[in-house]
Structure 1
Amino acid sequence: MASSATKELDDLMTSLSHFKLNDTSQSSRETACVKPQKPPKQPSAGPNNQLDSMLGSLQCDMNKQGVNTTAKGHCSACNKPIVGQVVTALGKAWHPEHFTCNHCNQELGTKDFFERDGQPYCETDYHSIFSPRCAYCNRSILDKCVTALDKTWHPEHFFCTQCGQQFDEEGFHERDGKPYCQQDYFELFAPKCAGCNRPITKNYISALNNKWHPDCFICMDCRQPFKEGSFFDHEGQPYCEIHYHAKRGSLCTGCHKPISGCCITAMFKKYHPEHFVCSFCLKQLNKGSFKEHNDKPYCHGCFEKLFR
């Protein structure tokens, strides 16, 4: 078959061309079958001349059988003429065995290949050398790619560092170069409310050297918000005025209001002076002179009438 013969010729010429010491011109190969009748000087039977003779004879025989042995250009790799099978790629011609991966030298033939800076690469080496790598598994990314935190990731490998869940429409938060979902980020890194110890994610109140959710900054006793933002500090906790004084024992036993001025202490209790009165006649007990009965103060007159 002509095609088989062409392939055999190409293979033979390529094999023989590796042993030639000097290239011969295309015109000399095309006319190699025309032998001079009486050359002025018989050439020496060196290796190059022997190869030229063999190649010339083979070309003549192929031409007689109707097989075109005209060179199809010069191989981009070895720069020798191509007769027979040829690979055309990257705008150049190659011997099939010379069209190889620039990295591993594997023959590419009819395989898929990739180009980089004018050089061919097999698929494996191209992705290994040039494709972006996943920041999680360090493998080449061949399809879809996520770019975040100045790194590239397989989409399935871009997930929360803490819980391992992929991110939803809320996106992600970054800490020390690592991605976190919103819930874990706030749980791990957001300041905690001094009232409920939960993360503070929005507005907050700064008081008593702590941060508070606005709804958590209330009186620790009555759980009511502070009027006009005024509060009292007792052992690092906020209180309204009434419960602050109650904690400190400075509420008047008579009116249950804070004592801010003069104070009378009696029966382990405190009173405004005007509220320390006889429990029967309600007269103010002057100078603290009183009689006690059932934990109640009485003036001397009422005490004598009631209990003597």
Structure 2
Amino acid sequence: MAESYDCTECNESLYGQKYILKEDNPFCIKCYEELFSNSCEWCRKLIGCTSKDLSYRDHHWHSECFLCIKCRRSLLDQPFTTKDEMPMCTDCYSNEYSAKCCVCLKTIMPGSKKMEHKGNSWHQSCFICNHCQQPIGTRSFVQRDGNKYCLPCYERQFALQCVHCHKPITTRGVNYRDQPWHKECFVCTGCKQQLAGQRFTSRDDFAYCLACFCNLFAKKCASCTAPISGLGGTRYISFDQRQWHNDCFRCKKCCVSLVGRGFLTCKDDILCPDCGKDL
């Protein structure tokens, strides 16, 4: 007696019927479609065994339902993109969502190279230097009055020249006595350390850091011999062509401060009146 051959799901005989094997189990067409066929995203009907199932990211369509959601044009064998996971032809997507070039005002097509800066977009071929008209690409550039310039053109056209090295200043500039300097060129005349952001002073139009200025030009304290800068409100005592720091102006014997008090001198020493009585 012949062995029966039935549908795995409904147990109906498959002799003389079309059927489909799935993992070695036979199913009649109806059961297979109900159990395993996908629903079309467009018409919501099952995609039967005799229909072509087109899929993209877990979404499925009949081949005749795979259309642009905007213009309803067939996307079979056509390039497409998606919006909210639904297919759109590249023309509709570009018109609706793609950026427009700031120069030619045309759509920048998906997949084409574009340049972006401060919320604006350009075709790569439209992103050019306003002076030499050459594409800027990924090179550095400067914007001025709404125009873009490659660095060589900007430097030739607009950049200030450093009074020290006579080269263009494009970044990190310093203004001193109404003259432009590179930050790295504006240095102490004595020690050559950069002065930008530091306290400094000048003599004969030359800039010095405070340490160099004091060492080179400041008077020396008659007591401690350290320089008296006199800068920034520093107080000092001057007498008989000699100077003292306020804190150094003390009696030679008892070390009491003589600032604002009477005092006596004995050769190079200064004394308070009490210590001076013993002379």
Structure with greater strand share of residues:
2
Decide: shared fold, TM above 0.5. Answer: no
Higher relative contact order (CA 8 A, sep 6+): 1
Structure with greater helix share of residues:
1
Q: TM-score, normalised by structure 2?
A: 0.41
